[in-house]
Structure 1
Amino acid sequence: MAVQFPFSAIVGQDEMKLAILLAAVDWRIGGVLVFGDRGTGKSTAVRALAALLPKMRVVAGCPYGCDPAAASGCEACEARGRAAGAARKSVLVPVPVVDLPLGATEDRVVGALDLERALSQGVKAFEPGLLARANRGFLYVDEVNLLEDHLVDLLIDVAASGENVVEREGLSVRHPARFVLVGSGNPEEGELRPQLLDRFGLSVEVRTPEVLAERVEVVRRRDAFERDPHAFTERWKKEDERTRRRLVAGRSRLDGVRVPDAMLERAAQLCMALGTDGLRGELTLIRAARALAALQGDAEVADAHLKRVAPPALRHRLRRNPLDDAGSSVRVDRAVAELFGP
């Protein structure tokens, strides 16, 4: 297995790293959209975080990687679970990171039903797709702004529901597909439609470092990693282990984090001040703030959590204002300052 660049060794890009961590703590936040310059560590961060996570336990032989401790799973696992005296054997596997190529067909993504076998033999044969492989892991789409709109919409729907349903000619197959969707792209090559932008949970902007010392450090670390990956990874092992413990602890604390009514009102006030459409903004803001509180070990959501996650949760949901030429990040920061104070 290829050695991945350590997550803790990534220089800068703090907002991107935080967004991916929050989505890993609570998959219900939705996908993470990373827009910015090429060569700024977008795919490196996703693969590094997946490699950092502890191995997950799956049902042996299950094509969807079902969790043996879960109450429900795919049709095959549920059938085995109902069988008298059947025991679910399990194995440990790495958290998957699945790349979705731009030229992928819908059948390649969602899976394909063999209609010929179904009609001639009465057998419901299903070939799992990329969504099945990504279950309980990460699905990474580079240049997501160049992917066909209907595929982006499909991905976001499945990522939000945690289940993939394939229906063809009266046949239907459903299986768990709970994954963190990460899409990246360069805005110079085209933008996503606003309707699709709004469906992503968090949106992050990354830029090429402009500070000389930071650029030099990026090159130094990458060069050291390529010359001796194992030695470089060993040097960052303690930092990665610390991040792993924070993440695992955050997941275990998540359901116990309280969200006071005052914070719900704050979130709604902020979204109203920015004029966001619908209620996805408030929902994502609260979910991300709760995940941040869990990651930091706090018992309840506070102003500081909302302020920290507001830019990635809201910047891609703003309408264009012809009377205000400020960027979306500036508008969110301004609204946060007015509502919460400096």
Structure 2
Amino acid sequence: MNITPELQTASPASFPFSALVGHERLQRALLLAAIDPGMGGVLISGPRGTAKSTAARALATLLPQAPFVTLPLAAGLEQLVGTLSLEDVLRDGSVRLSPGLVARAHGGVLYVDEVNLLPDALVDALLDVAASGVNTVERDGVSRQHAARFVLVGTMNPEEGELRPQLLDRFGLSVALDNPADAAQRQAIVRARLAFDADPQALLATHTAAQAELAARVAAAREALAALAWPDAVVQHAANLALAAGVDGIRADLVMLRAARALAALEQRDTVCVDDVNAVAELALAHRRSPHVAPPPAGGASRPHPSPAAGQGDAVSQEAAPEGDWGALPPQPEAMVRVPSTGGWPPKKA
């Protein structure tokens, strides 16, 4: 007797967020973005195998009934934002919206792997929707809008190319991951992964309480967010850090303040303080810092390179002057030399 095996739909479990090992900064950035998605999401850069996608999927488990939507590299603009079917106008006089991936991700996480390999137009549209929480679909002069509030998580491997600075600045927070260099930490990561692969439900059971507590904190922080304000000292400190980092525009100030507020809400405090800004500053400044400004020391604020001493003028040494994009040397005056006459071209031979 032939027995046909019954096919079952696979629904793989996600690695628990609280079980991530060695990613404290990444976990903080993702939690802050989940509390206030309007910051513009999180950009995670790092080499292969550093749990970038695992962390993104784990975040969705903390949000109530949150969808996890992946944007494929081959996606087009209509697949992302949706389209309008004007053919329905001719048939029954109504405009029908065909929703895209941003509509499916509403209330959850939109994950973009290798975001640096996407066309710039696609990334630009994606970041617009992530920051505003509203998606506008237009076609032939007809437009429709719908809510699209989600946590944007983009990942990239810098070895495969960089994002343009204009797009890089649009991401709210950024985290750069490194390969774990400590043997004990590598062992802890490997043991956690092997335990999950062997019995996902068993590992999930051991983290049930921690997951529930973290999910409750995120939900409470979202509710408390609007009630928190920024004292003048906090706004001034964020401005000073942004100036010291040499950033363009004021987006860094805004993101720092929103992230500091989200951190205060996560820690169940009723006021935002300067220490909150310090705790999130590098997440907001790392990808915006001017290339001529040195990264801060551990635990310190950004400091610009020292300026040339007054009175030095053009006598500043070439080594002290910042190089241009292509390492160009500063212009030097050159005297003009008159070229002697050659007497014209010789006559042509018949």
TM category (shorter chain) comes to 0.7 to 0.9
- Of 270, 275, 288, 2:259 maps to 288
What amino acid sits opposite 2:22 in the alignment? G
Alignment of 1:1-342 (within 5 A): 1-53=11-63, 55=64, 94-321=65-292, 326=294, 329-330=295-296, 334-336=300-302
Structure 1 unmatched runs, 5+: 56-93
The structure with higher relative contact order (CA 8 Å, sep 6+) is 1
Query: What is the RMSD computed on CA atoms of the aligned residues?
Result: 1.7
More helix by share: 1
In structure 1, the partner of 2:6 is: none
Q: Secondary structure at the match of 1:335?
A: coil
The answer to whether the Cα contact below 8 Å between 2:244 and 2:302 also exists between their aligned partners in 1 is: no
Alpha carbons of 1:220 and 1:311: their partners in 2 closer, same or farther (altered >3 Å)?
same
Alpha carbons of 1:145 and 1:132: their partners in 2 closer, same or farther (altered >3 Å)?
same
Q: Secondary structure at the match of 2:80?
A: helix
CA distance in 1 between partners of 2:206 and 2:187 (Å)? 19
Q: Give the CA deviation at 1:242.
A: 1.9
CA distance in 2 between partners of 1:149 and 1:188 (Å)? 18
CA distance in 2 between partners of 1:268 and 1:228 (Å)? 49
The answer to whether the Cα contact below 8 Å between 2:242 and 2:253 also exists between their aligned partners in 1 is: yes
CA distance in 2 between partners of 1:112 and 1:275 (Å)? 40
CA distance in 1 between partners of 2:90 and 2:115 (Å)? 37
The answer to whether the Cα contact below 8 Å between 2:255 and 2:284 also exists between their aligned partners in 1 is: yes
Q: Give the CA deviation at 1:299.
A: 1.7
Q: Give the CA deviation at 1:188.
A: 0.7
The answer to whether the Cα contact below 8 Å between 1:307 and 1:336 also exists between their aligned partners in 2 is: no
Q: Give the CA deviation at 1:251.
A: 1.6
What amino acid sits opposite 1:216 in the alignment? Q
The answer to whether the Cα contact below 8 Å between 2:296 and 2:302 also exists between their aligned partners in 1 is: no
Q: How many residues align?
A: 294
Q: Secondary structure at the match of 1:4?
A: coil
CA distance in 1 between partners of 2:298 and 2:87 (Å)? 54
CA distance in 2 between partners of 1:332 and 1:160 (Å)? 30
CA distance in 1 between partners of 2:75 and 2:296 (Å)? 36
Q: Give the CA deviation at 1:149.
A: 0.4
Q: Give the CA deviation at 1:265.
A: 0.6
Pick which of 248-257 and 160-169 moved more.
Answer: 248-257
The answer to whether the Cα contact below 8 Å between 1:310 and 1:332 also exists between their aligned partners in 2 is: no
Q: Give the CA deviation at 1:335.
A: 2.9
Q: Percent identity?
A: 51
Alpha carbons of 1:242 and 1:336: their partners in 2 closer, same or farther (altered >3 Å)?
farther
TM-score (norm 2): 0.80
The answer to whether the Cα contact below 8 Å between 1:274 and 1:332 also exists between their aligned partners in 2 is: no
Q: Secondary structure at the match of 2:287?
A: helix
CA distance in 2 between partners of 1:172 and 1:303 (Å)? 43
Alpha carbons of 1:335 and 1:40: their partners in 2 closer, same or farther (altered >3 Å)?
same
The answer to whether the Cα contact below 8 Å between 1:314 and 1:332 also exists between their aligned partners in 2 is: no
Q: Give the CA deviation at 1:50.
A: 1.0
Q: List structure 1 runs of 4+ shifted beyond 4 angstroms.
A: 331-334
Q: Secondary structure at the match of 1:234?
A: helix
Alpha carbons of 1:111 and 1:286: their partners in 2 closer, same or farther (altered >3 Å)?
same
Q: Give the CA deviation at 1:306.
A: 0.9
User: For 1:191-240, what per-residue CA distance to the aligned partner results, in whole angstroms no more than 9, with x for missing partners?
Assistant: 00000111110011111211101111111111111111111110111111
The answer to whether the Cα contact below 8 Å between 1:52 and 1:244 also exists between their aligned partners in 2 is: yes
TM-score (norm 1): 0.82
The answer to whether the Cα contact below 8 Å between 1:311 and 1:333 also exists between their aligned partners in 2 is: no
User: For 1:234-282, what per-residue CA distance to the aligned partner results, in whole angstroms no more than 9, with x for missing partners?
Assistant: 0111111221122122122212223110111111111112211111011
What amino acid sits opposite 2:23 in the alignment? Q
User: For 1:262-315, what per-residue CA distance to the aligned partner results, in whole angstroms no more than 9, with x for missing partners?
Assistant: 111111111112211111011000000000011111221112111110001111
The answer to whether the Cα contact below 8 Å between 1:25 and 1:251 also exists between their aligned partners in 2 is: yes
Q: Secondary structure at the match of 2:146?
A: strand
